[in-house]
C-alpha cells in the first residue's frame, strides 16, 4: 500500500516521502496515529498544497526540542535527595519521574 508520510517515521522515511508499506501497518498504525495518509491523487494534491505548513510545523517541534536539550545540558549536575543506609545503599530507587521532577525544579520547563 502506498502512503505519504506526514511525520518522520523510524526506518521508513521523513515528511513527504511516498513509501510502500504493508496494508495492515498502514491501516492499524500509521493512519490512525496521523503519521501517514494513503497516496491517492486527491491526497497527493492536498499534501503538496500543505507541504510548507507541515514542514514549518516539524521545524518548530525540532527547534523546541533542541532548546529543551540545550537547557538540560546547561544544568550540568542535578542533585536528588533520597534516603540511604549506613553503607550508602539507597532505600528504593530513583526513577524517571524523580529525575523529571528534579530537572523541572531546577528550572527547565517540560513543554
CATH of the domain at 16: 3.40.5.10
For residues 58 and 85, state if they share a domain: no
For residues 45 and 96, state if they share a domain: no
For residues 49 and 15, state if they share a domain: yes
For residues 62 and 86, state if they share a domain: no
DSSP for the chain, written as a single string: -EEEESS-BTTTB-TT-EEE--HHHIIIIITTTTSEEE--HHHHHHHHHHHHHHHHHHHHHHHHHHHHHHHHHHH--------B-TTS-BSS---HHHHHHHHHHTT----
Could you list the pLDDT tens digit for every one of the 111 residues in the chain?
A: 999 998 889 999 988 899 999 999 999 999 999 999 999 999 999 888 888 888 888 889 889 989 888 888 888 888 888 888 888 888 888 899 988 888 888 877 766
What's the structural domain count of the chain? 2
Q: What is the pTM of this model?
A: 0.59
Amino acid at each position: 500500500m502506498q502512503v505519504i508520510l506526514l511525520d518522520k517515521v523510524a526506518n521508513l522515511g521523513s515528511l513527504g516521502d511516498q513509501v510502500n508499506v504493508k496494508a495492515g501497518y498502514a491501516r492499524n498504525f500509521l493512519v490512525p496515529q496521523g503519521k501517514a495518509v494513503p497516496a491517492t491523487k486527491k491526497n497527493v494534491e492536498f499534501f503538496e498544497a500543505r507541504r510548507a505548513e507541515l514542514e514549518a510545523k516539524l521545524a518548530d517541534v525540532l527547534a523546541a526540542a533542541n532548546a529543551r536539550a540545550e537547557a538540560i545540558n546547561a544544568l550540568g549536575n542535578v542533585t536528588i535527595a533520597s534516603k540511604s543506609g549506613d553503607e550508602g545503599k539507597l532505600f528504593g530507587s530513583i526513577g524517571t519521574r524523580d529525575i523529571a521532577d528534579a530537572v523541572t525544579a531546577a528550572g527547565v520547563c517540560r513543554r
